Amino acid sequence: MKSVKTEDGNSIRTIVDRFSSVRVLVVGDVLLDRFQYGKIERISPEAPVPVFCPSRTIEMPGGAGNTAMNLSCLGCSVQLVARTGRDKMSKRLGDILDDNGVAVTFFHQDNCCTAIKTRLIAGNNHVMRIDEEQVVELDGKLTVLVADMVKEKIAECDIVVLSDYGKGFLGAKLTEKIIGYCRTAGKPVVVDPKGRDYQKYVGATLVKPNLKEFSDVSGKRFNPVGEGFQKELIRAAGDFLARCNIGGLLITLGEYGMLYVPSEKPVNGAIYLPTRAQEVFDVSGAGDTTIAALAAAMGAGAGMADAMQIANAAAGIVVGKLGTASVSAEELDSALSNAGASPRRKIVSVDELQREVTRLKKQGKKIGFTNGCFDCCHLGHLTSLRKARKLCDVLVVGVNSDAWIRANKGPGRPIQDEATRTALLAELECVDFVVVFGDRTALPLVRKLRPNVIAKEGYALKDWPEGRFVKSIGGSAVTLKRVDGYSTTAIAERMRRQ
């Protein structure tokens, strides 16, 4: 077995650069992921249950839709074929996907409704999920129509992804037909599986179960922290592959990484990769991100070791986000270029930040902004940053450049250079992005980012052009109360007197 070591970041990043030329066809179950954010502040007088008070709702595609969104976000050209009901949720899904660059073909089935999963989130805590769905087999007439359309689209793609969520769309007959068409056309097909019937995946290039799914289908249980875990898993995977004609298994192991076992030489050809995830907020849709990044890399010509590196980095990024999330090519490029560092790279350029903010806004995230020198980060700064973060989903901190501080505060400042100041801010949990700017005021940066809320200590609106601009575009400008007794200038003066 080979353990993947960190490869040359530049060579793997070259693969990411080729994503824009990759054409992917996604076929599978779509659903609408709805996230209701709110507060829980009391217990119901009617029963010993918490009272959830919703404040806002975000909707985004889930299942195969999330896989397609991830592929589009990575820069690939994406077509999605799926089934929905004849309802308004079908149109809502189609509109969101279309807005995010996914070419959609939905087949409507009369006795089927579009699946909805609603998650209730209080603060950063996921407290409940409500599922509205049906498992309905694809009818015979639609099976023929879908198969014929997929056969045509296979000729236009580089790789096919089957996203099976067990809702009845990817039944055995349709799945077998699609895999057969792919084999005839010489196109790789990767499968995100569901259930225990892997016979319908026979002929697939790769099937990606998680550890529980593989345990269920193999009938064996595995202990990731037990002695000999990897050897046992490889042996079981090899035995399983010997019974079916599947090119290989990529078994995702959550916090323990991922393991690839090929059908040929399963022991010597196996590849293990430890996880890159550093800080986990939400695993919703992480499997969709993994298979999307893997398919993009394979479509770009990557070998399995490099494709796993890319998929692993993407998974490490997405679990650090709340809600069903996607990963941009810029985020992935940053993570791969900073091997060994946190994949949630916070210190970014203005251009990178502008692209990321645009992407996050499309997901319905509330963007917050504050700025300052932060020359000597003290309790006053920390308190303001924490307050600002409570006003938004994502907090951007603009930091004055060294040159600006020298020009405006004298040759003795800054006490700490911008590399140090930004690094310290990036370590704070309440800060999501840090960017250095050299303009006289933060207004040009604010105009580019167009945040939903801006917050700063002690500024009246009449003296705060950035605040007036944010209000003019429908946002909020919040004046934060200053914590008395803290000032970088005063601290520096006290230090000089010591």
pLDDT of residue 10: 47
* Active-site entry in 164, 282, 288, 402: 288
pLDDT of residue 96: 94
Share of the chain above pLDDT 90, in %: 60
Look up the CATH superfamily of 2-337.
Ribokinase (3.40.1190.20)
Band (pLDDT 50/70/90 cuts) for residue 114 is: very high
Nearby residues of 464 by Cβ (< 8 Å), 6 or more positions away: 456, 477, 479
| Average pLDDT over all residues of the chain | 87
Whether residue 278 has pLDDT greater than 60: no
Specify the amino acid at residue 439.
D
> What is the residue extent of each domain of the chain?
2-337, 350-497
Active site residue 288: yes
pLDDT of residue 341: 36
Whether residue 344 has pLDDT greater than 80: no
Q: Which CATH number fits domain 350-497: 3.60.15.10, 3.10.105.10, 3.90.230.10, 3.40.50.620?
A: 3.40.50.620
Segment 316-329 mean pLDDT: 65
Cα distance between residue 224 and residue 206, in whole Å: 22
pLDDT of residue 345: 65
Task: Give me the sheet containing 159-163, strands edge to edge.
Answer: 2-3, 271-273, 258-262, 248-252, 206-207, 189-192, 159-163, 23-28, 77-84, 102-108
Segment 147-157 mean pLDDT: 96
Say if CB 200 and CB 143 are below 8 A apart: no
Whether residue 334 has pLDDT greater than 70: no
User: Where is average pLDDT lowest: 87-91, 210-214, 455-459?
Assistant: 455-459
Cross-strand bridge partners of residue 99: none
Which helix (H) or strand (E) covers residue 397, if one does? strand 394-400
